Amino acid sequence: MDQPAHTHFPIHELLARRWSPRAFDERRVDADALRTLLEAARWAPSSNNEQPWRFIVATKDHEAEWNRLFECLAEGNKTWAFRAPVLMLSVAGMYFEDDGKSNRHAFHDTGLATENLVLQAAASGLVAHQMAGFDIEKARVDLRIPAGYEPVAMIAIGYQGNSDILPERLRERELRPRTRRPIGEWTFAGQWGVSIP
């Protein structure tokens, strides 16, 4: 099922097609397809070319690893993410490697790498759903994330499934038309609060 964005201005078809479904088919994602997603993330821009992103990746082919990530998810996300064949956690390195100073752009840059990854997923016939709903401290401990690194978001990846497999409340959300705030609500001309023409 496609859920293309209904845009006010023309955008690239890949951007319009990318969305975050909760219905996953349980078909496995092969290793080369996964590496292609990570290669796309690798080429994201970053402040000072720091590349602060890290990804902890687990597939159902390695059940113990996959379960370790799955158990960090909030209960609401577990109700649908259990079908996803791949789980990832994005992690941001919070300090510049060359001088040890705080990298205030680490989350931004990790988000850019993640966006590359999810767009490559869409281009490759896969879907990806990013999740804020996970236990950060559990992830930090169970996944052995060292000091100086911050867990950012969980990501479920796989092939889109039929929305009929979802609980009714989630199925309704899956089928609801996608919406976004109008540009004029969040873009300003020259200074805060001045609407663009």
Domain count, the chain: 1
How far is residue 189's CA from residue 197's CA, in Å, rounded to a whole number?
8
CATH of the domain at 39: 3.40.109.10
Question: Can you read off the two tokens belonging to residue 194?
Answer: 């001045």
Would you list the DSSP string of 28-76? PPPHHHHHHHHHHHHT---GGG---EEEEEEETTSHHHHHHHHTTB-HH
Residues 6+ apart with CB under 8 A from 144: none
The model carries a pTM of 0.91
What integer pLDDT is reported at residue 145 of this predicted model? 98
Average pLDDT over residues 32-59: 98
Tell whether 107 is covered by a domain.
Answer: yes
Residue 152 lies in a domain: yes
Domain assignment of residue 82, yes or no: yes
Q: Which residues contact 194 (CB under 8 A, 6 or more apart)?
A: 188
Domain assignment present for residue 2? The answer is no
Q: Averaged over 74-85, what is the pLDDT? A: 96
Question: What is the residue-averaged pLDDT of the chain?
Answer: 93
In a domain, 15, yes or no: no
Q: In the structure, what pLDDT confidence band is assigned to residue 179 with cuts at 50, 70 and 90?
A: confident
Residue 87 to residue 130: CA distance in whole angstroms: 10
The predicted model gives 127-139 an average pLDDT of 98
Q: How many degrees, rounded to 5, is the angle at CA 31 between CA 27 and CA 32?
A: 115
d(CA 158, CA 125): 9
Please answer whether residues 122 and 65 qualify as being in contact, where contact means their C-beta atoms are separated by less than 8 angstroms: no
- Domain of residue 118: give its range: 20-177
In a domain, 27, yes or no: yes
What is the mean predicted confidence (pLDDT) over 101-117? 98
Q: Does 125 reside within a domain? A: yes
The pLDDT score that the predictor gives to residue 173 is 78
The DSSP H or E segment spanning 138 is helix 136-142
CA angle centred on 44, ends 110 and 17, rounded to 5°: 90
Residue 85 is predicted with a pLDDT of 98
Whether residue 53 has pLDDT greater than 90? yes
Please report whether residue 143 resides in a domain: yes
User: What CA–CA distance (Å, rounded) separates 95 from 147?
Assistant: 10
